[in-house]
Every structure is written in C-alpha cells, then in structure tokens.
Amino acid sequence: METDKTEIAFTTAGLTKVYGEGSATVHALRGVDLQIPQGELVVLLGASGSGKSTLLNILGGLDQPSSGQVSFFEQNLSRMNDADLTLYRRDHIGFVFQFYNLMPSLTARENVELVTEIAENSLSPEEALALVGLSERMDHFPAQLSGGEQQRVAIARAVAKQPRVLFCDEPTGALDSTSGRQVMEVLQQVNRELATTVVIITHAATIAGMADRVIHFADGQIRKIDLNDQKTLAQNLVW
Amino acid sequence: MRMLTGLSPLDRKLLRDLWRMKGQALAIALVIALGVLMLVMMNGLVRSLEDTRTAYYERHRLAQVFAPLQRAPQSLLARVAVLEGVTAVAGRVTGSALINIHGQPLPLSAQAVSLPDRGEARLNDIYLTSGRRPDPSHEDEIILLQDFAKAHGLKSGDPLSATMHGARRTFRIVGLAQAPEFLYSAAPGEFVPDDARFAVIWMSQSALAAVYDMNGAFNQLLLGTSAGSSLPAILDRVDTLLEPYGGLGAYGLADHVSNRFIEEEISGLRVSSRTVPPVFLAVAAFLLNIVISRMIQSEREQIGLLKAFGYRDIEITLHYLKFIFVIAVGGALIGCLLGVISGRSLAQVYQSYYKFPFLLFQVDPMTFLIGVLVSILAAAAGGMVVLQSVFRLTPAVAMQPPAPADYSRSAALASFLKRFLDQPGRMVARRLLRQPGRAAGGVIGIAAGMSLAVAMLNVMSAFDRTLELSFSLIDRSDLSVSFVESLSDKVLYELQSIDGVIEVEPVRTVAVLFSNGQHSYRGAITGLPPAVRLNRALDVRQQTIPMRSEGVVLGTALADILQVKPGDMLSLDVREGRQPQLQVPVTGVADTLIGSPAYMALGSLNRVLREPNRVSGAYLRIDSAKQDTIYRQIKALPAIAGVSLKQEAREAFQTLIDTSAGAVRYLMAAIAGVITFGIVYNSARIAFAERARDLASLRVIGFTRGETAFVLLAELGIITLLALPLGGLFGYFLVFAISEGFSTDLYRVSAVFVPQSYGIAALAVIIAALLSGWLVKRDIDRIDLVSALKVRE
C-alpha cells in the first residue's frame, strides 16, 4: 500500500442523516467521520438498514446530509446546491445499482451513450462495453440480457465517462455466484486499470477479501475499519 | 459513436417509449383530436357558409333594398336612381301563383317573378342551371325553380299548368334556375322550406306584366346601394317616393326573408361554434392534463436515474416536453385534418339544403393555432407539475419506488372495514380513501365526459319537444288555408259547408314592423278569434292565453328581440291596408319555440285596420277519411294562395333540424360519446399501469385472476359510479349553455330536464366502463408474474 502518498478523495465529519418526523423519525446516519483515499477499492459492509446506502448516496451527491461536513478533494459537497451537485455527478461520479437501472427502451450501447452524451472526456460506448466483455451484445435490449450482463452494462455505463469514483450499491445483490464473480472481476479491473476509486456496498462479507479497505457499518455508525494487506483476486472469491 | 439515425439516446428512448405506449398515446391523441376537430369543424363551417353566401350574393347582384308597392310606372326608376347612395335600380313584376300538378290533391304555392326581356337582370339575377332564358316573343316560356322541378320530376320542355291572377294558363319550361333571393323559400304561412311545395316561376318582364296588367309598370323596386351609405335614410326616401304608388314599406337585405333565415342559421352556428367546441376542448385538455401527469409519475425512477447521471432538470424537462409535444401536436394535427374533412362534408350538407350552387370551404388558420396551443399547454401543464414534484426529490429518493403509501390514516376504519369487507375489498376501500385526490380526478374526468353526453342528448330531446309543442299543442289543426288577400269572413261558411270539415277557425295575418326604441323586427301579427281552439297562444303551463281587446301577446323569441315584458308599450307599424301606426301594450308572452309570432284578438286587429269581418286564412280540422274530396273542393275555391298540411310542415321541420344543424348535433353527440369512452378507458389503463406490480404480487401469493382483477376493477367501478351523479349535475348546467348556443331566431331549443338523456348518458358511461374493464381484465390475466416482480423500471 502507498497510503502515505495517496490523496484523500472523501472526508466526512460528524455526518448525520435523519428521515421523517415525530414518531416516524429514522436516524440513518449518526455522526460518521471517515476518510477514503483516492484509488482504493473500498467495501462498506453492514446489515440491511445500517445506513451504508445513505452514506453512499450522500458521497455520490444523490442526497444531502442533515448535518455534518462532507468534501470531495477540495470541494465541500454539503454546501452545494442542486445544480452544483448535478455537475459534480456528471463530471466525477459513476453509479452501479443493485437492480442495474438500465433504461428498458434503450440498447446496451444506447444506455452507455446516455452517459457519454453528457460527459467531457469519455470512453466510447464500444470501448466501455469491451471493458466489461460485452462487445458481442452491444445492440441487445436489457430484456434480452441476463442479470449479470445487465449489471455489466450498468458498469460500462458508469465507467464510460472515466469517473474518479465509482459507487456500487449491492452490485451483486440480484445475481447468482458466477455472474456475481464476473461483476466483481470487472470492478477490480476498473480499479486497477483506470485507477478509479471504487466504493462497493454489500452485506456479503466474502467480497471484503478483495478490498483495500473494509468499513464495517452498523446503526448508522462506523464500527471498525480493516485495512487489507493481502487482497484476494475477485476470481478467487469464495461465494 | 452515434447510430446512423443521428438521434441522441434520449430521443431514441422517446421514440421507443412512444412505440411501447402507442395504444395509450393514441387514445390521448384522439381525445385531443376530437376537441380540436370540433373547433376546426365549427369555425370552418361558419366561415365557409359566410364566405359562400357573400360570394353567391355578389355574383348574382342581390339587391340591398327591397320595396314592394301596388303599381308604379317605369319612368319612376330614373327618379329613384338619383337618390343619394343608390348605385343600381331595377323595377320588376311579382305576383303569387298556384301550380296544379297532376296527381297532387292540393294546389302548390308559387311566386312569379319577372326577368328583363333582354340580357341579365341588373339586380337579383338568377343562376341558370339548365336550359335558357325565356324569349319575350313567346309569352308561355318560363324558368322554374330547380329544386321544385326536381321534386316533381319536371324538366326543360315540359308543360306546366298554373293559376295566375285568377286565370289558369299553361306554360312551357325552358330552363331551370336557382337564385340567391330564394335560398330559403317557404310557402306563405309556413316557416320551413319544402322543395316540393313552393315554386318560383321566372318569366320575361313583358309576358308577366301582361298577366298581371302591369304593362309599363312594376310592383317591386330593387336597389343596390353604395358601401357606407345610410340604409335608414335610403329607406325613408324610397318610402316617401313610393307613397303615391301604394308603397308597402321598403326594407333592407337584413329583413329579407330568405336572407334572414340564412343569417339566423349561420349566427346560430356561430354561437354554437363559440360555446360548444371550447367545452369539448376544455374537457379534452383536462383529461390530457390528468393522463400526462400520471404517465410522468410512473417514470419517476427513470427521472431519478437521469439525475443521478448528472442530467440537468432542464434537459430532463425538455425530454418529457418532447414526449408531450409529439402526442399533443400529433393529436391536434389529426384533429385539424378530421376537422377540415368533417367541416367540409357538413358544409356540403348545408350547401345542398340551402342550394348554394358552389361552396367555398375556408378554415381560419387561427383555429389551427388555437387548437394546437391549447393541447400543448394543457399537456405541458400536466407534465410540468409532476416533473417539478419529482425534481424536488433527491435522485436517491426518486430512483427508489415510492415508499409504500401510508394507509395508517384509514386505520380507524379498520374494524368497520373488517366487518363488512373481505381482504381485496379492504384494499380497494383503503386505496380510494388514501388517495382521495387521485380518485376525485378520475371521478371528475369521467363526469366531465358524461356531462357532454348528457347535454347533447338533452338538446336532441329538446328539439323533439320543440316539434311536439309547435305541432301538437299550439297547432291542433289538420290543415291551414291562406287566401291571396283578406276576404270577408263569409268564406268560412263555404269552408264549413264542405263535407268532412269538422271545424273551421278564422285567422288574419298582417305584416307589421314592431319596434321598441332601437329594437325592431319585421314580422306579422296573427289575429285570433275569441274562442280559439285550433291555433293557440299558450303560456308556459300550456294553458290558452285569452286575447284581450287591447294589446298584443308576443312569442318568447319576439319578446326577447324587442326587449319587452308584459305591461310595456310597443309600436306597431302595420304594412297593409291603410297602414296605421299604433301604440299597444304587451299583455302577455306566449311559450313558442318556432318563429317569432305575435297575437292579437281578431276583432281588435280588424278594428284598427278599419276592415271589419275580414280573414286572411283559416285553420281546419277534417275527417281524414274524406280528405281527398275535401282537398278537391278546396282546390276549386277562388282566391286560395296556399294550403298547408300540418303533417307535411312538421316533416319539413324535422328535415330541417335533422339535416343542416341536425348533422352538427349528431356529430357532436357522437364525439361526446367517444370522449367519454376515451376518458373511462384511459382511467382504466393508467390505473392498471400504476398497479401492475401490486397485481402481480397478488397473483404470486395465490390470488386467483378474478380476485386480482377485482382489486383493480372494483376501484374503477366505484369511481365510475361516483361519476354518474356528478356527470348528471355537470350536464344539467351544460345543457343551459349548449341549448342557448343552438337556439336561433327561427327556432328555440329550451333547456328542459329530460330524464331519458341522463339515463342514456349514464348507460353509455357504464358500457364504456364495462368495455374498458374487460380490455384491462385481459391484460391483468396476461401479467407475466416473474418479470413483473423482477424488472424495476
């Protein structure tokens, strides 16, 4: 690890998020202090409802914290308005969701174009799809692809604009083990080859084996952070 | 790399989404199309009729001023020609005639009109449709009104027997013609034209003058006037000039019978075109608003996703606006196209009814623009509101399916619901209670559609009421006879003595100019005998209004035109006999739906004319078994100007309201039906689209198809049932607006409460709901359980 030289991509301080009011109040985050260095592959591990998705949404500019600070390099995300957040997402962030969230009426290639269309320095859709091993199926609609293939299209879509950070929310949650392993391989490859910071949310502890850094989450708080010296290759993950 | 089409991925998404939703997109587009159709059709129709009429009048030089008189020498024309504002002058001979057609039991009324011996008429020329103009050296040559000839199978070369000036003559038809002054020509004493029962005979001036002893003279003066000249001033000067020659009062084109009827028909249409289509368009716009907003609501997750990628609100808005525009503009264009087509065919119905020799179909481009703009605005407004509400959510929230709606507010109802409803029933009840706004939208939408149907059906029934009141209650006779001039009432005994005549009731009709301040009307007063039985003035409770010795009773329409009520004074300028001018009180208003009649006691009328015991016609009730012999004897009576059978008059009126304006009504009723169906069907489709996943879940946990369908269809059913009374209520108010729009001075459509129309409209809504339910049920049965649960769009 070269943590000494590495820049810090994300810094949070006292981050909280409260949903709802009165008796229906939910404290999704209860004061999170965290640093994520640039270029790492980070796994956020925790049970359902532990607040890890909320943290990811805030880091990704999809949601605003109730209080606390969050910054991306020099930019203070917690002070950004809606338009600034839009630009932030457009320029720096890629997302991969559990249910792929492809546009059903667009082909694989067109789903990727949806992002390259508005990004400045993007890979071509073909390059991006080649990266995830789907060159042969570019003109298929989501309904014609398997779950694993759909998720790889989603990854191609996310990485095509060469984001600095890739956020993946339960990327293998809806997949069988073989497809899941393929998806993790692609993510590891992206992290290595494009030097993209990859943040993966999961509740599957085995995935932690491939991370530089594993953040354990529970009840809206960080319980502990493990640094991994012996990273496993994704293809060797035991499901 | 872009695909060959060069479209952006969002535009491709747009096209594919449109294709996927083509059924619903088309249904929405059609509703818009119908609203726009109505607008374009009605405006086009009105404009075309106006333009055609104007062009027809100009081409055949219709006079601006008409002045009937007893007799004046041709030399007088030179003095008229120099009057200020007069650009053309013509004097012609006219007279009444009776035509005897073999096989017709009764003589048919006709008007004889002279044409110049040489060349075309300077004013009021004819439109010769076949044959040639009469040769003045052959006194028996005539031109016959084309549609009368057609009705009796007459053609050029045929002989025609007619009684003129008391003598029976045989003529030869040399041509057939139409004329702008006889666009709408009814027999004397009748309101509604009937091709078969009224003719115009044109003859050369010298031949007709010989018949009526008018050599070197004329009895009708026609004037063309310059634009900007003062009509009242010209009328005054002409009246002064003609006074020594038995002038009966000059009048302008606006008071010419044929033109007045056409004008009233067109202005009636004009009012309809301003009141009815906006209502249709508003209902369509409202529906569009609801449908679009719910459609965009269902795209919420995709909108969230686009935001997550970094698309700006404005980019997403433009994307959905394009979607809306395609549907709205598509619908509006279909509507414009259909509007032109149906406007044109309706105009052709009018053309043939009013016998315009040609038709200029014109559409106001402004109408297109209004139709398209209203559609876009309504659709865009519906979309914008929802987009704004989605934009207010953070992308993280928008991307998730909406949180389960909070049904806890209806928890208090739980025990109540539990007692009476099973589980699916409770789901339906809770959903309706939880989202009353959405349910209300559906209810109001369906009710709005139904109200259109109620109003149109009601108006159609109101026409039947007009017929019933006029031809069964007011007029209880079998036939009426009119004389060429007023006769001594001894003629009544002659009529009474005919075998089979049960009852004879005298009547005297006198041409009168009514005026109250600046309101005036050229009409007639009908003198009624004291114990009136056959032709009556009725009040709104359908009781006979007794005639007082002083004063007049006015029909509803006339009272409106003159702006008078019982107790007001009215000036009467009698245009017959010694032409007295009177001030009389209005003693009552009679409930009349056809024409603008006025009534007086017969005795009083004769007294002011100083012509005691005179009648101008009679109403008869006869024994129908003896009608042939009765007709024959009436035919033999001298001085008969016309005989009109009530049954025929009623049929002619029925034809009038069925063909011209009637065609518009039927079309509107049909459109109201389609819009109603469109609303119900769209409501069902949207409800299904919103709940497909829920329904699939129900199927997965073991509900049968029937039980699953119940959850959706019961909701639809309840919304439909709630809409019925509301639609009736809306319809009740809409009836007033629409029936006002359809009323003309010729006939009125009363806003009456017709229970059947509510029943039929409700039935139509129920049928539409059943049909829509059935269509949606098929889709529920076909739900793919696995994919409906898996795919998160």
Domains (ranges, CATH) in chain A?
8-236 (3.40.50.300)
Asked if the C-beta of B22 comes within 8 angstroms of chain A's C-beta atoms, the answer is no
pLDDT over 70 for what percent of chain A? 97
Q: How far is A215 from chain B (nearest CA, A)?
A: 21
> Closest by alpha carbon to B647, among B655, B635, B637?
B655
Q: What's the confidence (pLDDT) of residue B650? A: 85
Q: What's the confidence (pLDDT) of residue B185? A: 76
Alpha-carbon distance of B24 to B21, in angstroms, equals 6
Higher per-residue confidence, B737 vs B55 = B55
Query: Strand A221-227's sheet: what is its strand order?
Result: A93-96, A165-169, A197-202, A41-46, A213-218, A221-227
pLDDT over 90 for what percent of chain B? 26
Whether B403 has a pLDDT exceeding 70, the answer reads no
Whether A84 has a pLDDT exceeding 80, the answer reads yes
pLDDT in tens, B170-225: 999 999 999 999 987 777 666 677 788 889 999 999 999 999 999 999 999 999 99
Q: Helix or strand or coil: residue B743? A: coil
**Which among A62, A64, A125 has the least Cβ separation from residue B1?**
A125
pLDDT in tens, B637-651: 777 777 888 888 888
Contact A106 B791 (CB under 8 A): no
Which residue, among B20, B299, B309, B394, would best test binding to A if mutated, counting the most A CBs under 10 Å from its CB?
A: B309
> Closest by alpha carbon to B166, among B97, B219, B108?
B97
Alpha-carbon distance of B164 to B152, in angstroms, equals 20
| Token pair in block for residue B732 | 């009740």
Whether B4 has a pLDDT exceeding 50, the answer reads no
Chain A contact set for B10 (CB, 8 A): 114, 117
Residues B429/B714, Cβ–Cβ less than 8 Å:
no
Contact A95 B311 (CB under 8 A): no
What is the location of CATH 2.40.70 in chain B? 501-622
Contact B399 A63 (CB under 8 A): no
Alpha-carbon distance of B463 to B467, in angstroms, equals 6
Name the residue in chain A with its Cα closest to that of B790: A99
Name the residue in chain A with its Cα closest to that of B21: A105
CB burial of B387-420 (b: ≥16 within 10 Å; e: otherwise) equals beebbebbbbbbbeeeeeeebeebeeeeeebeee
Contact residues of A toward B, CB < 8 A: 57, 60, 62-64, 82-83, 86-91, 93, 95, 97, 99, 101, 103-106, 109-111, 113-115, 117-119, 124-126, 143
**Which residue reads 């008429």 in tokens?**
B121
**Which among A60, A86, A93 has the least Cβ separation from residue B312?**
A86
Q: How far is CA A232 from CA A167, A199, A209, A235, in A?
A: 20, 16, 5, 8
Q: B2 pLDDT band (50/70/90 cuts)?
A: very low
Whether B285 has a pLDDT exceeding 60, the answer reads yes
Whether A1 has a pLDDT exceeding 60, the answer reads no
Chain A contact set for B399 (CB, 8 A): 62, 97, 101
Mean pLDDT of B235-259: 90
B19: CB partners within 8 A, 6+ apart: none
Residues B741/B465, Cβ–Cβ less than 8 Å:
no
**Which among A64, A101, A115 has the least Cβ separation from residue B394?**
A64
| Token pair in block for residue B391 | 């934009």
Chain B contact set for A86 (CB, 8 A): 307, 310-313
Asked if the C-beta of B308 comes within 8 angstroms of chain A's C-beta atoms, the answer is yes
Q: What's the confidence (pLDDT) of residue B535? A: 87
Q: What is the DSSP string of A167-200?
A: EEESTTTTS-HHHHHHHHHHHHHHHHHS--EEEE
Neighbours of B615 (CB within 10 A): 25
Whether B83 has a pLDDT exceeding 60, the answer reads yes
Burial of B740 (0-12, 13-18, 19+ CB in 10 A): middle
pLDDT in tens, B405-427: 565 555 556 666 666 667 677 77
Alpha-carbon distance of B694 to B701, in angstroms, equals 11
Asked if the C-beta of B16 comes within 8 angstroms of chain A's C-beta atoms, the answer is yes
Mean pLDDT of B539-554: 86
What residues does B252 pair with on adjacent strands? B65
pLDDT in tens, B465-522: 778 888 888 888 898 888 878 888 888 898 899 899 999 999 998 989 899 988 888 8
Backbone φ/ψ region at A130: left (φ over 0), alpha (ψ -120 to 50), beta: alpha
Question: How far, rounded to the nearest angstrom, does the alpha carbon of residue A200 sit from its chain's CA centroid?
Answer: 5
Higher per-residue confidence, B2 vs A188 = A188
| Token pair in block for residue B294 | 């719910």
Mean pLDDT of B595-616: 89
Asked if the C-beta of B300 comes within 8 angstroms of chain A's C-beta atoms, the answer is no
Could you tell me which CATH class the domain B501-622 is placed in?
mainly beta
Asked if the C-beta of B117 comes within 8 angstroms of chain A's C-beta atoms, the answer is no
Q: What's the confidence (pLDDT) of residue A3? A: 45
Contact B399 A97 (CB under 8 A): yes
Backbone φ/ψ region at B574: left (φ over 0), alpha (ψ -120 to 50), beta: beta
Residues B356/B32, Cβ–Cβ less than 8 Å:
no
Mean pLDDT of A93-109: 84
Name all contacts of A112-117 with Cβ < 8 Å and 24+ positions apart: A112/A153, A112/A156, A112/A157, A112/A160, A113/B2, A113/B8, A113/B9, A114/A157, A114/B9, A114/B10, A114/B13, A114/B306, A114/B309, A115/A157, A115/A158, A115/A160, A115/A161, A115/B309, A116/A160, A116/A161, A117/B8, A117/B9, A117/B10
Asked if the C-beta of B395 comes within 8 angstroms of chain A's C-beta atoms, the answer is yes
B212: CB partners within 8 A, 6+ apart: B93, B95, B112, B164, B165, B219
Whether B167 has a pLDDT exceeding 80, the answer reads yes
Contact B12 A106 (CB under 8 A): yes
Name the residue in chain A with its Cα closest to that of B299: A103
Whether B156 has a pLDDT exceeding 90, the answer reads yes
Q: How far is B672 from chain A (nearest CA, A)?
A: 35
Q: How far is A100 from chain B (nearest CA, A)?
A: 9
pLDDT in tens, B549-578: 888 999 888 898 899 999 999 999 888 777
Contact A101 B792 (CB under 8 A): yes
Chain B contact set for A89 (CB, 8 A): 307-310, 395
Chain B contact set for A82 (CB, 8 A): 313
Asked if the C-beta of B693 comes within 8 angstroms of chain A's C-beta atoms, the answer is no
Contact A87 B310 (CB under 8 A): yes
Q: How far is A106 from chain B (nearest CA, A)?
A: 6
Chain B contact set for A95 (CB, 8 A): 308-309
Q: How far is A208 from chain B (nearest CA, A)?
A: 25
**Which among A83, A97, A126 has the least Cβ separation from residue B1?**
A126
A73: CB partners within 8 A, 6+ apart: A7, A8, A9
Mean pLDDT of B367-376: 83
B39: CB partners within 8 A, 6+ apart: B277, B278, B280, B281, B335, B339, B367, B370, B371
Alpha-carbon distance of B227 to B569, in angstroms, equals 35
**Which among B20, B397, B399 has the least Cβ separation from residue A101?**
B399
Residues B503/B535, Cβ–Cβ less than 8 Å:
no
ipTM: 0.78
Q: Helix or strand or coil: residue B517? A: coil
Contact A89 B2 (CB under 8 A): no
Higher per-residue confidence, B364 vs A130 = A130
pLDDT in tens, A29-71: 999 999 999 999 999 998 888 888 899 989 998 888 999 999 9
**Which residue reads 């269902």 in tokens?**
B298
Chain A contact set for B310 (CB, 8 A): 86-91, 93, 118-119
